[in-house]
Amino acid sequence: MKNMSNSLLTKVLAYLLITITALTFTVAVTSSVLIKTYDIDRNPDMAFFKSSICSDITTDYAMDVYNGYFTQYISAYPDEQALEDYMQYYSEENTNFFFEITDNSGKIILSSYTAQYGYKVPFAINQGGYTMTAYVKKDISASDDYRFPYNLYNFAYKTRNMLIPLASVSLVMTILIFIYLIYSAARKKEHDKFEPGFIDKIPFDLLILLIGGMIALAVLVIQEPARALYSEYMYEALVMLLSFGFAFIFLALMVLTVSFAARIKLKTLFRNTLVYIVARGIFRFIWKILSKIPLIWKLLLVIGFVSFIELILMLFMARGSFTPVFFWFMIRIAVVVLSCFAALNMIKIKKGGEAISLGNLNYRIDNRYMLNDFKKHAENLNNISKGMSNAINEKMKSEHFKSELITNVSHDIRTPLTSIINYVDLLDRQNIDDATSKEYIEILKRQSARLKKLTDDLIEASKATSGVITANMEKLNLKEIMNQAIGEYSTKLTENDIEPVMNDFSSDIHILADGRLIWRVMDNMLENICKYSQPGTRAYITVEQQLNRVRICFKNVSKYKLNISADELMERFVRGDSSRTGEGSGLGLSIAKSLTEIMKGAMLLEIEGDLFKACLVFDKA
């Protein structure tokens, strides 16, 4: 969870950073072009005053002065408060705009201009017999409409040498972050796998419409305020508005591009679209309907549709002559009859194939009235059925014979073996002083016990594979079973210098199994660890939950070289001890596998060097 939140935060920061670097690159390039276009780098002192921005602001101020201030000034009954306000508004402290209005004789009627200021960019207007000349102060100091664009021009001039390096660095950073976003798209960090995010699950054509609509809406929303700010010379607010607008549009396009890359990695670019989903739904609906229609009717529908198209084309081309139509109709009837006959043959073969696939190996397809190719195919299916039936019968006879042989021989061995064990036990109770005789008796006891174990394993293996054993499935607490099993084997594990290590898992884990059979499986697994583990090592037992299954794994280091595959080790009478000097019979794993499968579980073996791993998988209760 923590890795997921860190990854999400990293991507959010990457999106923000690439938006900033892209905006920086755009501003730097645009500024470089404007600096060259408006001659800011070669004539910085006059670039602003010769610009259209300065001219537009001057014109607006001049018209306001002439139509407002001057009109009040020459009025017969002027508004004294309005004149005071105008005078204050166009004072030297509040504006960089100055003017001089004269009559036809050159007499100054109204003026805020004096020679000491040294103004630039004169502007003149002749109207109503008066002449107005407007000026802009060379040193822009007052906070009026000239201030922000003037400072912007000066800033552009001062930073002109930094723009190209800044554009280059921001471009490189933009490309690098873009590569990172494309690389990390749909990538699950901890497993290096691909997994769709929330946006990647949205149908791609719908996502394009959503992002396109958002961009169009953003342009419409920004357009009118931008025009108003431009007309009011509120350039500072206009720059901020356009910057936010650019950031939003660029971010939306980046999200779309990264999602496009993610869908290519996930191979869902076309499959996760509304067009594909709707088309697939329609196709499945049609296919579902067609699947319920018999084959012969499907064939008639296709032939009927094609024939209808052909008939329309023929009538259009025949131009009143019905002879070609008559011959076409007769040929079409023959095609329909032959196609229906072939479809009936195919239906017979399909029915036979389904019967054989369901296990009815005695089913025979009647191929007496079939076309030659269909007849051969039906005969091949009949031969396959007959061959499979014979092979299965032979296999069942062989398995039955082997199981019966093992059972009978094991039972026959048990009677004399019981006598041997009893007599050896009687000998052992006698007070025999001869050390050699005592040693021989011990050997007889050990080997007869080993032979009895082998006989019991043979009978159990025979029962497990022949289907005689049935499982009484019930809900079992796995923690209790594991603790009991390890407790039973604690002494034996200690004697063999093996330390059992079991992971801590919830006591609420329950499995569906047979209590008697699961104990036999655990007994075989722990017995296997005691017999074949390297002394002085640890045996690891882990329990993991996997959706609706529970996985129990036993891992130990073998004291013998495991030059054998896991599949071979699972077979009967095959042992990891290739010299066969140990006590095992080679049946333990085979019995455990058979009993596990009887309980609808699975047993998996893995061998890596001398590391032996056996895993049991059961259904969770």
Q: Which tens digits make up the pLDDT trace of 8-41? A: 788 889 999 999 999 999 989 988 888 888 788 8
Kindly indicate the confidence band of residue 171, based on its pLDDT and cuts at 50, 70 and 90: very high
Rounded distance, CA 125 to CA 139, Å?
24
Identify whether residues 576 and 474 lie together within a single domain: yes
Q: pLDDT per residue over 419-431, tens digit each?
A: 777 767 777 777 7
pLDDT value at 412 more than 90: no
Q: What is the mean pLDDT of the chain?
A: 79
Rounded distance, CA 88 to CA 589, Å?
104
Q: Single out the residue in 317, 341, 357 at which a domain terminates.
A: 357
* Beta pairing class for 108-111 and 510-513: unpaired
What pLDDT sits at residue 586?
A: 55
CATH number at residue 569: 3.30.565.10
Select the more confidently predicted residue: 209 or 394.
Answer: 209
DSSP letter at 534 equals P
Identify whether residues 99 and 203 lie together within a single domain: no
Identify whether residues 222 and 246 lie together within a single domain: yes
Within a domain: residue 210? yes
* CB-based contact 584:575 (threshold 8 Å): yes
Q: Kind and range of the H or E element at 324?
A: helix 323-357
What pLDDT sits at residue 116?
A: 56
Q: Single out the residue in 292, 310, 325 at which a domain terminates.
A: 292
Indicate the range of 72-86, 172-186, 592-606 predicted with least confidence.
592-606
Q: What's the mean pLDDT in 124-133?
A: 78
Q: What's the mean pLDDT in 552-578?
A: 67
What pLDDT sits at residue 573?
A: 44
Within a domain: residue 282? yes
Q: Which residue has the tokens 């019968």?
A: 393
What pLDDT sits at residue 172?
A: 95
Identify whether residues 194 and 99 lie together within a single domain: no
What pLDDT sits at residue 137?
A: 85
Q: What's the mean pLDDT in 252-256?
A: 91
- Number of domain units in the chain: 4
Within a domain: residue 431? no
Instruction: Characterise 300 by phi-psi region: left (phi > 0), alpha (psi -120 to 50), beta (else).
Output: alpha
Identify whether residues 70 and 109 lie together within a single domain: yes
Identify whether residues 265 and 301 lie together within a single domain: no
Within a domain: residue 442? no
What pLDDT sits at residue 514?
A: 84
Identify whether residues 256 and 299 lie together within a single domain: no
* CB-based contact 364:385 (threshold 8 Å): yes
Q: What's the mean pLDDT in 310-335?
A: 69
Q: Which stretches of 358-501 are DSSP H helices? A: 372-429, 435-466, 478-488, 490-495
Q: Single out the residue in 260, 275, 292 at which a domain terminates.
A: 292
* Cα–Cα nearest to 510, from 545, 562, 555: 545
Identify whether residues 260 and 306 lie together within a single domain: no
The pair phi, psi for residue 91, each rounded to 5°, is -75, 165
How many other C-beta atoms can be found within 10 angstroms of the C-beta atom of residue 563? 8
Identify whether residues 600 and 520 lie together within a single domain: yes
Indicate the range of 302-311, 401-410, 495-504 predicted with least confidence.
401-410
Q: pLDDT per residue over 231-249, tens digit each?
A: 878 888 888 888 899 999 9
Q: What's the mean pLDDT in 611-619?
A: 87
Distances from the Cα of 89 to the Cα of 84, 102, 134, 279, angstroms: 9, 21, 15, 69
Identify whether residues 500 and 529 lie together within a single domain: yes
Q: Has this prediction a pTM greater than 0.75?
A: no
Identify whether residues 246 and 339 lie together within a single domain: no
Q: pLDDT per residue over 489-537, tens digit each?
A: 888 888 888 888 888 887 778 888 888 888 888 888 888 888 888 898 9
Share of the chain above pLDDT 90, in %: 9
Q: What's the mean pLDDT in 139-145?
A: 87
Select the more confidently predicted residue: 341 or 513.
Answer: 513
DSSP3 helix / strand / coil % (the chain, rounded to 5): 65, 15, 25
What pLDDT sits at residue 411?
A: 63
What pLDDT sits at residue 407?
A: 63
Select the more confidently predicted residue: 565 or 247.
Answer: 247
Q: What's the mean pLDDT in 300-312?
A: 73
Domain that residue 233 falls in: 190-292
Within a domain: residue 488? yes
Instruction: Characterise 387 by phi-psi region: left (phi > 0), alpha (psi -120 to 50), beta (else).
Output: alpha
Select the more confidently predicted residue: 459 or 288.
Answer: 288
